[in-house]
Structure 1
Amino acid sequence: MNKILFSFLCVLNLLWSVDATIDLIKTIQKTPSIQVTYLDNKNANYARNIYKVLLGDLKVSGHFLVTEGEKSKTNPNYTEFVQNKTDLFVNIEVLREESGIRAIVRLYDINMQNLVLNKAYTLDDEKLYPFVAHKIAIDVNEYIKAPSIDWMKRYVVLSANVDSGKNDILISDYTLTYRKTIINDGLNIFPKWANAEQTEIYYTKIIKNYPVIIKYNVYTGVSTEILKSKGMAIVSSVSKDGKRLLMTLSPNGDPDIYLYNIESGEKTQMTKYRGIDVSGNFIDNDTAMIFVSDRLGYPNVFTKKLEENAPIEQVVFHGKNNSSVTSHNNYVVYTSRETNNEFGPNVFNLYLISTQNDFIRRLTTNGVNQLPKFSDDGDSVMFIKNSWNQSALGVIRLNYNKTYLFPLSKIQIQSFDW
């Protein structure tokens, strides 16, 4: 491995080395109570798997008071549910067929004493059952006309460390219950969804000690080389229309931010600094960017209009190590080192700010919280949390003051996109 590439990896290791607090906004007047059960038949094990994920989905939505009902053999006893102040009842039945499994979901409105949803979800690959649960949660959520939770059915793409000099690219659901390796041929890092439809990704592949940006279709397996650069080559942000990229490149040794046009192949250098400029993210309707730079002597967050000679302005005035950042429209989440412990782990918390005003909220309270990523709708933030007793993938529901953690079992994530 050449010296520039080695330095690049070391810098990245340093740069990326629980409570939401924004105001609560709800469109539903009363949080409905819901009980979830599954039918006790010969396929109960499959139903139980869906049931367990669905319970979590309904809790994570923030729109339900969830009661675990386990197995059920009969239709709901409306009188009993009314006495227990239960508003909704869900029962899952799974049938085993030659083509796969079919999950039948029945949703009863207890107050109306009526079956309001009777829907079948077919699945040819049993391992995809978490997405059946996510789709059920979305349908139940739509019935009560709560704010959308469509983000639950989106894939997460991630790079996982599997061995020295080897990283695989995987896709998963947001709980990491479903995982599938799609690229496993060497050092593959920094995956990024290439479009809103999640059919293609960009990622960096190390080939003969050079980082190469690859575009990969997750359905056809077709790969296209975009460009390569000495030392560093990373896609950090994709414009809403998918036609422009913000890249970190270091052709002359110092990493800088470049704006890349997919159709023409033209790239424009956005920063020129003899130091570290990385992690460019589109903001303000793709007219500007935020990025991380050490131009103050430590990692901090800056902003710049997408014009070559536009001025660069400091965004964050809190903390002494603001090493990772994500954006959605006019909102930014960044990490901030809260302690300065020379002989032990430091606390890194996440903060939410706006590019339009002085708004600031702390989102986490303890541990090492890194690599924040906004959901597609901007209502949630996913991140990696490391504490003294566990590592987890976290989801912060910004409008509901809730954080949910999914333990990272036998997997070490280098980077991910949602």
Structure 2
Amino acid sequence: MKKICLIFISIICLNANIIMDVVGEQEVLAKIRITTSTPIDSNFDNMIKNDINVSSKFEIVSDNANYELDYKLRNVGDNYELELTLNNFENKLKYTKTYSYPRSAYAFLSHKAISQMLKDLNIVDVDWMNRKILLTRKIAAKQSQILVADYTLNYQKVVMQGGLNLFAKWADTEQTSFYYTDYNKDMLSIYKYNLLNNQKTLVTQSYGMLALTDVSKDGLKALLTKTVQDQPEVYLMDLNTKTQTRLTNYNGIDVSAKFIGNNSFVFVSDRSSYPNLYIQNFGSANANQLVYHGRNNSAFSVYDNYIAYSSREKSGDFNIYLMAIDSQYVRQLTLNGRNTFPSFSHDGKTIMFIKSLGMQSSLGILRLDENKVYHFPLKVGKISTLDW
């Protein structure tokens, strides 16, 4: 597809980093018309259109289309059955496939069908749409909920409520269980909660701050934030034996560690006199600063060698940046408002984040290769943490 790019790039040298800010890019997209021969369910119709839009490969139009996507939605027992037919008027391509999913989670039926169609036709891989999002949401003082949602927040299921339970983190790639911290007593507890049987298992307990912040790819180890002598430090925990090894030893704040590669971890520390990102090898006591701009670099996500992080600007805005630990280049991804809590998709090509502008907040989806951002409003409560 031919691209027309209108790009303004500003380059600023800041110590060891060069900030590259891609302000705008326009792309000529294929035009698609969406139709249905069944009675329209406005919620489902919007879901289909959301998925097509967020794929970033089509412009939805009412006429003069290159493609036509027709869908039929039927009730079959407790399920919705969805039949998709895609026609390409230019080369007479016709694609037809039928999908089924429980009506109670119809959002995932749309995600499943659209992502599979786009993959089958080698248009784009957006399998991240099918991932469940784990959210902790504050609803009142010392009251929170843990819920499972889809990326548009149309599907939301509360899986835990009552008291203050925070820092929910998926325990496995299959998304069948998660870890969380119970803040309802003086001694804090990390539990593992199984969604299949609704059973929880105690992992560890401690006074002061306690949170499980990352799980290794094989699911065997975890990184913890744990208070020692009134200061939070980073620990490595063997999830089978529950053995804990202290990794940082600093008279200040070390929190929120995440694995990067096989031999290192990234964490937030106030060693710069403000929250900033540092990297440290396992087995070493030396930590190296990663970011040299902004004054509050306290939320980040890791994918392979890349780090997405939010940083407070002089204006008071928070913007999200992308950096590689083996490069001096940093790419600015957002431009205004408060953009926080970035989280990579499992393929590293999409970043989810929280967008706050004025009195409104929404869940942002940032497509890195396409340089496009989409927002879905948050209607109830305040999101504390998210995991994808």
| Contact preservation (8 Å) 1:190, 1:235 | yes
Residues of 2 paired with 1:154 and 1:364: CA distance? 24
Aligned twin of 1:92: 71
Residues of 2 paired with 1:302 and 1:357: CA distance? 15
| Contact preservation (8 Å) 1:192, 1:237 | yes
Shift of 1:150: 0.3
Aligned twin of 2:314: 339
Rate the CA distance shift 1:23–1:290 in 2: closer, same or farther, 3 A.
farther
Residues of 2 paired with 1:100 and 1:261: CA distance? 41
1:34-45 alignment, distance < 5 Å:
34-41=32-39, 44-45=40-41
Aligned-pair identity (%): 34
Give RMSD over aligned pairs: 2.1
1:359-407 CA distances to partner (integer Å, 9 max, x unpaired)? 2011111111111111111111111111114111111111111111111
Aligned twin of 1:280: 257
Residues of 2 paired with 1:417 and 1:233: CA distance? 17
| Contact preservation (8 Å) 1:371, 1:384 | yes
Structure with higher strand content: 2
Alignment of 1:269 onto 2:246: yes
Q: What residue ranges of structure 1 are gaps of 5+ in the alignment?
A: 1-18, 70-80, 341-345
Alignment of 1:316 onto 2:291: yes
Letter in 2 for 1:179: Q
Residues of 2 paired with 1:112 and 1:322: CA distance? 50
> In the comparison of the two structures, how many residue pairs are matched?
368
Alignment of 1:330 onto 2:328: no
Aligned twin of 2:80: 101
SS at match of 1:129: helix
Residues of 2 paired with 1:273 and 1:339: CA distance? 28
Shift of 1:20: 8.2
Residues of 2 paired with 1:237 and 1:139: CA distance? 29
Residues of 2 paired with 1:137 and 1:268: CA distance? 45
- Decide which of 269, 288, 304 is 2:280's aligned counterpart: 304
1:300-351 CA distances to partner (integer Å, 9 max, x unpaired)? 11000111x34110000111221211111100111211126xxxxx211111
1:68-126 CA distances to partner (integer Å, 9 max, x unpaired)? x5xxxxxxxxxxx7xx2x33211111222333332222222323335321x222233x2
Alignment of 1:54 onto 2:29: no
1:205-254 CA distances to partner (integer Å, 9 max, x unpaired)? 12422221111112221211100111111111111111111110114221
Rate the CA distance shift 1:144–1:32 in 2: closer, same or farther, 3 A.
farther
Aligned twin of 1:199: 176
Rate the CA distance shift 1:20–1:403 in 2: closer, same or farther, 3 A.
farther
| Contact preservation (8 Å) 1:35, 1:90 | yes
| Contact preservation (8 Å) 2:32, 2:68 | yes
Residues of 2 paired with 1:23 and 1:271: CA distance? 41
Residues of 2 paired with 1:172 and 1:325: CA distance? 21
Residues of 1 paired with 2:36 and 2:198: CA distance? 37
SS at match of 1:152: helix
Residues of 2 paired with 1:59 and 1:333: CA distance? 23
1:127-166 alignment, distance < 5 Å:
127-166=104-143
Residues of 2 paired with 1:206 and 1:249: CA distance? 13
Residues of 2 paired with 1:397 and 1:92: CA distance? 26
| Contact preservation (8 Å) 1:20, 1:402 | no
Residues of 1 paired with 2:318 and 2:197: CA distance? 39
Rate the CA distance shift 1:412–1:271 in 2: closer, same or farther, 3 A.
same
Alignment of 1:120 onto 2:98: yes
| Contact preservation (8 Å) 1:22, 1:361 | no
| Contact preservation (8 Å) 2:264, 2:279 | yes
Shift of 1:203: 0.7
Q: What residue ranges of structure 2 are gaps of 5+ in the alignment?
A: 1-19
Residues of 2 paired with 1:170 and 1:21: CA distance? 35
Structure with higher helix content: 1
SS at match of 2:49: helix
SS at match of 1:245: strand
Shift of 1:22: 11
| Contact preservation (8 Å) 1:50, 1:132 | no
| Contact preservation (8 Å) 1:20, 1:403 | no
Residues of 2 paired with 1:228 and 1:153: CA distance? 34
Shift of 1:145: 0.5
| Contact preservation (8 Å) 2:116, 2:127 | no
SS at match of 1:391: strand
| Contact preservation (8 Å) 2:204, 2:242 | no
Alignment of 1:63 onto 2:63: no
| Contact preservation (8 Å) 2:101, 2:108 | no
Q: What is the TM-score of this pair, normalised by structure 2?
A: 0.90
Rate the CA distance shift 1:189–1:50 in 2: closer, same or farther, 3 A.
same
Residues of 2 paired with 1:23 and 1:312: CA distance? 36
Shift of 1:164: 1.6
Residues of 2 paired with 1:397 and 1:23: CA distance? 13
SS at match of 2:241: coil
SS at match of 2:231: coil
